[in-house]
Structure formats: structure tokens, C-alpha cells
Amino acid sequence: MAAIRSKNTKPELVIRKALHARGFRFRLHTPKLPGKPDLVFPKYRAVIFVHGCFWHGHHCTLFRWPKTREEFWKEKIDKNRSHDLAVMDELARHGWKILLIWECAMKGKGRKPIKDIVDTCTEWLKNNHSNKEIKGINEE
């Protein structure tokens, strides 16, 4: 089961480091934006979220309902899910494009080479104007 939800998780740090090495400059957890996106690229009007599959209720192989306090978790995860949707709606309304990187793209059986993920991020930042998700291999 997932531990405490936190900022600056390992997958997030890996992505930050790799994009920085490619010359991208970004802000972190900008409190002025809805949902405090993990990475904010003002120049591209783009934000990246790195989402833990448990906390954000991803339908994937990393996600498992805890066996205890089922009601509590169901309510909590459902709330996180609807919060995420509302946040993305609001960002989109303000002209931000959004990339979601799910934990399962970087961890577990379905993980992808980090280079591929960073290539996708780079291409998306520069050339793609719609929202995108990166998930584990098994989830696509």
C-alpha cells in the first residue's frame, strides 16, 4: 500500500532532473495555480503532474483497494479523483495544457525506460497542444 502522500516523490525528482538536464526551466508546486502542479512551464503554458496511482485512484495494476477501512478509503480516493478532474478543468479553462505522468509508467512491471518518458515530455512540451497522459505499458 502507498505510504504518506507527499510532494517531491522519487518519480517526480527523476522527471525534474531529466527535464532540467535537457534545458527546460520550470517552477515547482506553484501555489497560484489550481492543484499546485508539480512542474510548471510558463514559457509553454504547460503543467506536468506526477501522480501516484494509489492516491489518485488510477485504474491500473499498481492500484489495489486496502483491505481495511474500505469505506474510508473509497471516500478518500473518490474525493481525490474528483478534485483532480476539477483542477484539470480549471487549468484548461485558463489555457494551460496538462501532462499527467502516472506512477505505473515509472514503477512496476509496466514501467518504461526513463529516456522514453522524457522524450515524450519533450515532444509534448514543444509540439503538442492537447492534454496527454503517460501510463505503464500494460495500461495502454
User: Which residues of this protein are in contact with Zn ion, per CB under 5 A?
Assistant: 53, 58, 60, 62, 102, 104
Contact 131, 89 (CB under 8 A): no
Contact 101, 51 (CB under 8 A): yes
Provide φ and ψ at 53, rounded to 5°.
-65, -30
Find the shortest distance in angstroms from Cβ 8 to Zn ion. 19
Nearest residue (CB) to Zn ion, 41 versus 56: 56
Nearest residue (CB) to Zn ion, 58 versus 97: 58
CA–CA distance, 98 with 113 (Å, rounded to integer): 21
Find the shortest distance in angstroms from Cβ 106 to Zn ion. 10
Nearest residue (CB) to Zn ion, 26 versus 103: 103
